[in-house]
Amino acid sequence: MSRQSASAYDPLTILLHWLIAAIILGQIVLGFVMTRPSIDPALQFSLFQWHKSFGMLVLVLAALRLLHSLIRVRVAPAPGASRLEYMAARFVHAALLALALVVPFAGWMIASVSPLNIPTFAFNLVVVPDLPFAKSDFAEDVWTTVHTVLAYTMLALVLLHSGAALYHHYRRHDGVLQRMLRLRRSPAETPVTEVPTKEL
């Protein structure tokens, strides 16, 4: 790493991490529920619009996170982690951020190429224009498949990522989870190698 490592995440990184995580999990549940064949049509319409609104929000937040990650000081590898573990973590983190951008983009594509031509009116506040691509049932089907497959891929990575965090917390006791939770009073001054204290 060319940049000096930090021992803790900055507040914006932590805020964006949890905000995006919460919305994405909610979006996956919403996406599953709203596509059940037996759903009430009026409810379905409403849920789709909420899904589109939160999807646009995730896209903005993930873009912000990407930009921020390019300029912030990188946090040091987990203490005791092997190079392989470190590289795996880096890969999963990068994949999660990439999917946090690509999945909503694919959703935006669905709305853009659908012949239904339903406007995206995010939170009933902002009209998000369609991306400039030809509309067709075929294109809608393709992007729907891309969106769905990538979304569930992201869910799988989220589970892997969460499992790793819990592993670090309960088995390694290395403070990796705490530094994203920011439970320490002075994270910037607390070495990540320190064993978590009871106050946590």
Stretch 46-85: interaction string toward other proteins, x if CB under 8 A: x--x------------------------------------
d(CA 4, CA 79): 16
For residue 13, state whether it binds other proteins (rule: CB under 8 A): no
Stretch 91-130: interaction string toward other proteins, x if CB under 8 A: ------------------------xxxxx-x--x--x-x-
Which residues share a beta bridge with 120?
Answer: 128
Residue with token string 């294109």: 139
For residue 42, state whether it binds other proteins (rule: CB under 8 A): yes
Beta-strand (E) ranges in 10-138? 120-122, 126-128
Least Å distance, CB 100 to other proteins, is 26
Q: Residue 200 to residues 77, 157, 179, 181: CA-CA distances in angstroms?
A: 21, 26, 11, 10
Beta carbon nearer to other proteins, 39 or 94: 39
Q: Within 13 A of 28's CA, how many CA atoms are on the CB side?
A: 19
Q: Given the rule CB under 8 A, which residues bind other proteins?
A: 40-42, 45-46, 49, 115-119, 121, 124, 127, 129
